[in-house]
Amino acid sequence: MKKVVLFTLLAGTVATASYGQSNFSEFTDNPSAFTLGSDNNTLQIGGRLSWYYEDRFLKSGQTNMDHNSFDLKDADLDLLGKTANKFTYEFHYSLADLVNQANTWAYPKNASPTTPGFKAAYIEYQGFKIHIKVGYDKIPFSQSNIEHEHETPFWSHPDLTSGDFFSRRDVGLTLSSSLYQNRINLYAGAYTGMGENFFEYGEDESGTFEYVARAEFCYPSKMSYNEIDEENSPILHFRVAGNIRYENKTQPNGGSVDALYPDEVGAYDTRMVNGERTIYGGDAIIKYRGLSLTLEDDIMNMKPSSATDPLFNGTAESFNNGVVHAGGFISDLNYNWQKIHSVISVGYENTNANDLIAGNFQWLNIGYAYKVNGFNSCIKAEYYYPLQEDVNSNPLKYNGQIRIGYQIVF
């Protein structure tokens, strides 16, 4: 709770110091936000509100219909600014998450790592060729992780990049630089390795970092992380990238990650491993005349330090060789139908949560958005269908799911 208060006070201080500042749409994806100030010092105030109705088609014998209801997804406030001496900063938090976390702390249960309340709280210096960012933000790993789901017809990220397999945000240091007229973009960073759970636990007892690196090539120019071709590009644009992240979270004195940080390990015991974990992957996006295609493949290589680690699922070392693999493939095909203010998307995911036990899951997602004012004001409908269920790692109680709602970005 002290961390929440501290970050809130920091945001208030930064916002007050920057008051009287103007438009800097060159480094934000929300030009409709309210801006204050001069050309050299700016403060942009924006946010997002969204809700949807969800209906799950339950399997025979299932009677719990608590998901068949309305849900408030977003109630965000985002402060984004820059100063004349080449600093930029952002403080983005979800009021809905903060209220949920406050209620959670009042009861004997753990806070949710995927809804920590804070989505960004960082300062970045852009006065050097290599930009230096310190604070809390998205980790520069995975196209699907970095992009914004509110700029697609879908209501959430694919399961692989939703935060269950690996963290999406963390506190740390990020270095970035661009070459060849911004066509080549490089990122490297060191982070706590606790991800969104940093606000619950702080640093873990190992005291080690997670290291992340990403390199991408864009042509004919740098591309934003918006997978929809809203500009209906008259010439083909593409980006290809590769990234990797590594950590060794072996706990001292024989400590157990599962015991010390029970909700940090995640739904598949992969978010934090009591040992070494390497994740590597590649992704690509193509945009042309309203059509866009994204492809991404992420592979996890985990080496728990204990032969009895739950990740091994009781298998013998002669069988598992001390290594567990997980990961998957995701792809979206989108069409921006400008004449009828609509976007249609079809997404596919094939993911394996653990290669030592049989089973993988495959999802088909169909999304539609009617844009009243772009994605800043739109109706979104999503159909979520399991093509194949992993009964061992991800048993389901439903045969499909639909969500329909409205979002406003300001």
Residue among 220, 205, 214, 181 at smallest CA distance from 260: 205
Q: List the single range of 4-18, 81-95, 192-206 with lowest mean pLDDT.
A: 4-18
What integer is the mean pLDDT of 219-238? 96
Q: How many domains does the chain have?
A: 1
pLDDT in tens, 166-181: 999 999 999 999 999 9
Q: What is the mean pLDDT of the chain?
A: 89
Q: 300-335: per-residue pLDDT in tens?
A: 999 999 999 999 999 999 999 999 999 999 999 999
Residue 310's beta-bridge partner residues?
none
Q: How large is the average pLDDT for residues 341-353?
A: 98
What pLDDT does residue 31 have?
55
Looking at the chain, how many residues does it have?
Answer: 410
DSSP 216: E
Q: CATH number, domain at 374? A: 2.40.160.10
- Domain of residue 313 covers 2-409
> For residue 118, what are the CA distances in angstroms to 26, 141, 197, 267, 408?
23, 19, 11, 21, 19
Among 205, 185, 216, 217, smallest CA distance to 256 is for 205
Q: 392 exposed, middle or buried (CB, 10 Å; 0-12, 13-18, 19+)?
A: middle
Residues in contact with 29: Cβ distance below 8 Å, sequence separation at least 6, in sequence order: 148, 151, 224, 225, 226
| pLDDT-based confidence at residue 200 (cuts at 50, 70, 90) | confident
CA dist., res. 139 & res. 156, Å (int): 17
DSSP one-letter string for 139-167: -S--HHHHS-GGGSS-SS--GGGTTSSS-
Give the list of residues 6+ apart from residue 278 with CB closer than 8 angstroms, or none. Answer: 244, 245, 246, 300, 301, 302
Residue 23, pLDDT > 50, answer no
Own/partner contacts of 19-25, CB < 8 Å, gap of 24 or more, are 19/43, 21/81, 21/82, 24/80, 24/81, 24/82
Q: Kindly report the pTM of this predicted structure.
A: 0.89
pLDDT of residue 381: 98
- Counting residues of the chain whose pLDDT is more than 90, the rounded percentage is 82
CB distance 199 to 4 below 8 Å: yes
Q: Are 74 and 380 in contact (CB under 8 A)?
A: no
For the beta carbon of residue 15, count every other beta carbon within 10 angstroms: 17
Helix or strand run (H / E) with residue 48:
strand 42-58
Give the CB-side neighbour count of residue 164, counting CA atoms within 13 A: 16
Give me 199's structure tokens.
């606000």
Q: What is the pLDDT of residue 184?
A: 98
Q: How far apart are CA 186 and CA 175, in angstroms?
A: 8
Kindly indicate the confidence band of residue 101, based on its pLDDT and cuts at 50, 70 and 90. Answer: confident
